[in-house]
Structure 1
Amino acid sequence: MNRLVALRLAPPTLLAALLAACATTPTKVAEAPRPAPVAQLPYEWTSGQAPKATQQAKAQFGSLALKPGQYLWAASIPDAPAKVVIDRLQQLMFVYKGDTLVGVSTISSGKKGKETPLGYWKVFRKQVKGFSRKYDNAPMPYMQMYDEMGIAFHGGALPGYPASHGCVRLPIEFAKKLYPLTAMGTEVVIEG
């Protein structure tokens, strides 16, 4: 209230100066710099393809209530490039030929501390009778390597939960069916 009284009693020239000062265009304050985007390493990247694959699989095959070691395979396979989508959360692999889903399988991905890396990859090495260089020459039948650190998907034991040292284990028969469908450069998307 005292300020209001003082302004009323102030000489008109002072009031005019105060009003003029308040009426000037404010100077622009520079925005705080935005942090640079974090590099999207393959280990952090996901693309949202696994939820779409799950919806397609349910529409095509019905229920996805598969027990460890079970898989579903389409009756006919189109002639198109293959793509693999792996969902670590659901412990499932989806196989496409072009845009057509041709197979769904249970998997066992990397256990805690040895998690299967997320990301976008490409198959760069294939062997029907593969062996692990890191883990005592452990067999990796129908091995398809996609990570330069030696991580691959291959036939192996499926206990129903993540249990590998980083690889994606598949039922042997599924790995055998998948092997001829892929080629060097086949896309591999890992999410979850």
Structure 2
Amino acid sequence: MRAALVFGAVLLASCQMFRKKPPAPPPEAVKEVWKYPGEWTGGNKPITRMIVNVDVQRATLYSGKDIVGWTYFASGIPSFPTPTGDFKILEKVKDKVSNLYGKGFDKNGKLVNSDFKQGRDLLPEGGRFEPAKMTYFMRLTGDGVGMHIGPIPKPGRRASHGCIRLPSKMAPILFEHTAVGTPVTVTGNGPDYQSYLKQSAEKAKANAAKLAAAKQKAGEAAAAAAAATSLAPDDPNGPKGGVVTPPGTTPPLGAPPGSPATPPIEVKPAEPVTPPPAGN
């Protein structure tokens, strides 16, 4: 009996060794949840709130409790961060341009500064400032932070000077389906608004100092250029006594050198003599 039990156990073990294992389940398909630039499924529904996450650079759009879309964006780089916290859309301007950032050109129309900022950079003499476009602008703060169309060179990475840049295909949708007063919550790694304002004030002070230094340097360069092209009063190649005698004039006779010149006397030709009338 005991031998039979041992033989049965050995037979069972050998069967288990040669039994085929069930095939592994196929891997789940990768879902492209965040395919650039975004998605809108809300139809004609209004956007009643937005959750903007600066860590993943994506915003989720809600109508009531329902998610009706999402979009990529590019928020501020670490040196120009986007403030975090609870905001509201304060203003909507479709064709807005920046009054701070843009491009700087010289007097010949050559681009000299592609990241020009008013109050920080100095235009060359005769140059011009071309403001950056901020189309479909939705203001979030009084000092200019907002959402608008802008370049997103690397989706998922920060790239702006503090604003939230939107893809050109998604910005019109957000603009159309939001209203002034729509709540916008900015989450993720970034300063709160009060800290942001303090940082902005410090940067403004540093920018003013940089601009003043640039103006002083430009003034010194202009003065040096003027000095290089002018002659000293005692230069033998220059006017004697510092007085220039205009062409066609001569100083008065007997006057000391350097005396002001007098204009030449104009000599008019004699008038022709009219012959007397002939007699009868």
What's the TM-score bracket when you normalise by the shorter of the two chains?
0.5 to 0.7
C-alpha contact 2:47 2:61 (8 A) present in aligned 1: no
2:177 aligned residue: 181
Residues 131-156 of structure 1 show CA distances to partners (whole Å, capped at 9, x for unaligned) of 11221321011000011110001111
SS of corresponding position for 2:151? coil
Residue 117 in 1 paired to residue 83 in 2?
A: yes
Structure number with greater CO (CA < 8 Å, separation at least 6) is: 1
Asked whether the equivalents of residues 77 and 97 of structure 1 are also in contact (C-alpha less than 8 Å), the reply is: no
Q: Which has the larger radius of gyration?
A: 2
**2:67 is the counterpart of 1:71:** no
Unaligned runs of 5+ in 1: 1-61
Task: Report if the CA contact (8 A) 2:137-2:147 is conserved.
Answer: yes
**CA RMSD, aligned part only?**
1.5
C-alpha contact (below 8 Å) 1:142/1:175 kept by paired residues: yes
In structure 1, C-alpha distance between the alignment counterparts of 2:54 and 2:187, rounded to whole Å:
6
Within-5 A mapping of 1:1-192 = 63-67=32-36, 70-74=37-41, 76-78=43-45, 82-136=48-102, 137-159=131-153, 160=155, 161-192=157-188
Unaligned runs of 5+ in 2: 1-30, 103-130, 189-280
Aligned-partner residue type, residue 35 of structure 2? L
How does the TM-score come out when normalised to structure 1?
A: 0.63
Q: Secondary structure at the match of 2:100?
A: coil
Q: 1:148-173 CA deviation, whole Å, 9 max, x = no partner?
A: 11000111111221010000011112
Equivalenced residue count is 128
Residue 76 of structure 1, CA deviation: 3.0
Letter paired with 2:39? L
Runs of 4+ more than 6 Å apart? none
Report the 3-state secondary structure (helix = DSSP H, G, I; strand = E; otherwise coil) of the residue aligned with 2:94: strand
